Structure 1
Amino acid sequence: MTTASTTPAAVTQPLGVKKVFLVVGIVCIVGFFIDMLVLAIPPAPMALEWRFGFMQQLSDRAIILFLGAALVLYALPGSGMLGRYLAMGCLIAGIFFPLSCVLVVRDNLVAQGQALTNIGDQAQQLQTQVEAARSSPDLPEEITLEQLQDASLQIDTQAEALTQNTRTSISKSILSSAGRLIVFGVGFLGLGRYGISRKNS
């Protein structure tokens, strides 16, 4: 009697769980695309700042798309066309994400070059002002040559520190963003292969 009464619940429970997974997965996928659409407005793909920020947000939010796709693939029947289309989309994403690393690395290196150039230009301007003050006959008595020498050394030290911090920050950004994109690319390829190869469920 106990077996007969619990069998229907045991049969219907996986169906109910799959429905929940399907709803959660669809919400994740739709939410991801809405977020990326909002972040892309106004579109300016030729601007370095726009691409830099957009790709950073893409790598940060890719986990939402990945989890959503995994939940939907699990919930859909293996023989359904929707599942096949989603699996193909995962394969495309699995190719796109690693390839986008090239753009991420390039943009980060360009941004690093611009930042280092700005630091060098500002340091050079300050050094020029110090040299002009040192050779000026109207130098106030309270400002000594030793003070100007110390100021010049501080400019060089701060410029070197800013240069090192910029290089470290950009390197971390490249490793973080590109690493996540590669990992998610491999994950999407795995999901795509799973979705295409699985049989009726």
Structure 2
Amino acid sequence: MEAKRAAAERAVSYVTDGMVVGLGTGSTANWAIRALGEGVKAGLRIKAVASSVASEQLALEAGIAITDFSALSRIDVTIDGADEVDPEANLIKGGSGALLREKILAYNSRQFIVVVDEAKLVDTLGKFPLPVEIAPFAAALTLRQLQRLGCQASIRHQGGERFVTDNANLVADCSFGIIASPGKLYEQLALLPGVMEQGLFLQPMVSRLIIGYLDGRVEDRWLQR
């Protein structure tokens, strides 16, 4: 927890007055939102857009002003976590179920800062099940198509019921074990009808990777976009 917190606070140090900030979703993003709230209380002037209803609520509680997307000409920086990061800074995201909105924010940001602890670093993506957001219509057919790509796929449940995203879609968690070629899998998933978005976030999407370590160190990698 402290490693995530330290890394998130480092990410927030790149936010300056007048910025429009994209807020990710999940435990690491929550640390960043809280840190931004402390900055706002100290006089930091920002506006934010959130990748989920939960993050928007937390931001409002922290005193962060939420703006409307229709009023935006830019997002200066988005801060978010990841479930896995490989040596090329390709990511698996979506454990929190907000992958579609998270990817929209990341894609439309001048900088996308990813914050993780050392446990999220992997040699090859795939141990963490890849979240894929799918349409509820004919979900069983889409699930079969996902399985044909070589994974064990199941619809995510929460509290004994199907998990429903903020976009009223479902999430299929796809266990590949090893994703040898993230780019190839990305293209295969993108072609499947019923797939609304996938949790593969491939380079050069990430601008900066900040890693928190259990010994208190914070590694800050700038990645050219």
Global fold match (TM > 0.5): no
Range class of TM-score, shorter chain: under 0.3
Greater C-alpha Rg:
1
Q: What is the TM-score when the length of structure 1 is the normalising length?
A: 0.27
Q: Which has the higher helix share?
A: 1
